[in-house]
């Protein structure tokens, strides 16, 4: 069973956010919402999204600026929501990297159809290591070779990670010194929200600690943050 597409909806209108989220979720999509660019940036730090629905007119940084910035980083595909009749917004949006646009007010069915079309065009096999694919990643006294999943210590000791261990470690390596909740880690590694009392992430963290920590009982690399989650508490160096 494939994971449903995860859409990040950025719009300052609470009415639009609720209506769009409700409709897309009824049509087998996951939706996370942000009220402005600042909240969007926070969500992008800890989440992975298949598509961004982005309003042009927002308080603070506007949608055109956001689109230009995200496109320069090679972000997820972007569908822009523009004011009816604002042709220049649509032209500029496409010029700075938007994949499509839809003028307000819009029919939710058309929005869904456009999202599906963009996802079909953008669909590519996703590398397990995310942005670290093909890299050698150094952290603490370890080097992770992402092509082989080999974990090599400074003294030459080696270990090969399981698929789940490798996925979780690369998620943390992509976000050094950022506190990640159990729910966020589960979402990124599995693609859904965990059930109540699910200890999957805690168990995987324990296994990783046994492999990379000098003293797993007093971890210094993957630390526990009380009422927060976990954090990779070391710098990361990526070499291609």
User: Which of 88-97, 115-124, 227-236 bottoms out in mean pLDDT, i.e. has the lowest?
Assistant: 88-97
* Beta strands, E only, the chain: 6-10, 30-34, 51-55, 78-83, 100-104, 136-139, 142-145, 150-153, 158-160, 222-225, 229-232, 236-239
The pLDDT of residue 94: 78
Q: How is residue 168 written in tokens?
A: 């979780």
CA-to-CA separations, 12 to 17, 52, 54, 64, in angstroms, rounded: 8, 14, 10, 15
The reported pLDDT for the residue numbered 72 is 78
For the cut 60, the answer to whether the pLDDT of residue 160 exceeds it is yes
Q: Work out the mean pLDDT of the chain and round it to a whole number.
A: 89
Per-residue confidence band for 137, with pLDDT thresholds at 50, 70 and 90 = very high
Of all residues in the chain, what percent carry a pLDDT higher than 90?
64
| Pairing assessment for the beta strands 51-55 and 78-83 based on DSSP bridges | parallel
Position 1 confidence tier, pLDDT thresholds 50, 70, 90: very low
Question: Using CA atoms, how far apart are residues 167 and 147, in angstroms rounded to an integer?
Answer: 12
Lowest mean pLDDT among 13-27, 42-56, 58-72, 126-140: 126-140
User: Given a cut of 90, is residue 228 above it in pLDDT?
Assistant: no
Query: What's the average model confidence in pLDDT over 155-167?
Result: 88
* R_g of the chain computed on alpha carbons: 20
């Amino acid at each position: 069973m494939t994971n449903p597409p995860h859409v990040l909806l950025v719009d300052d209108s609470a009415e639009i956010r609720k209506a769009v989220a409700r409709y897309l979720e009824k049509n087998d999509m996951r939706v996370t919402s942000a009220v402005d660019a600042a909240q969007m940036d926070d969500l992008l730090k800890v989440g992975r999204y298949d598509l961004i629905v982005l309003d042009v007119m927002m308080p603070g940084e506007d949608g055109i600026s956001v689109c230009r910035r995200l496109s320069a980083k090679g972000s997820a595909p972007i569908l822009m929501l523009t004011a009816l009749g604002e042709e220049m917004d649509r032209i500029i949006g496409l010029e700075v990297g938007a994949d499509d646009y839809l003028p307000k007010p819009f029919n939710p069915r058309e929005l869904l159809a456009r999202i599906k079309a963009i996802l079909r065009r953008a669909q590519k096999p996703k590398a397990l290591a995310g942005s670290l694919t093909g890299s050698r990643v150094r952290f603490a006294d370890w080097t992770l070779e992402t092509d082989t999943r080999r974990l090599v210590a400074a003294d030459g000791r080696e270990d090969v990670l399981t698929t789940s261990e490798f996925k979780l470690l690369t998620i943390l390596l992509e976000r050094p010194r950022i506190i990640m909740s159990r729910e966020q880690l589960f979402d990124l590694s599995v693609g859904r929200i965990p059930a109540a009392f699910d200890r999957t992430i805690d168990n995987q963290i324990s296994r990783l600690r046994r492999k990379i920590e000098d003293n797993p009982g007093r971890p210094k690399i993957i630390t526990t943050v009380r009422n927060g989650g976990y954090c990779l508490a070391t710098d990361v160096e990526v070499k291609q």
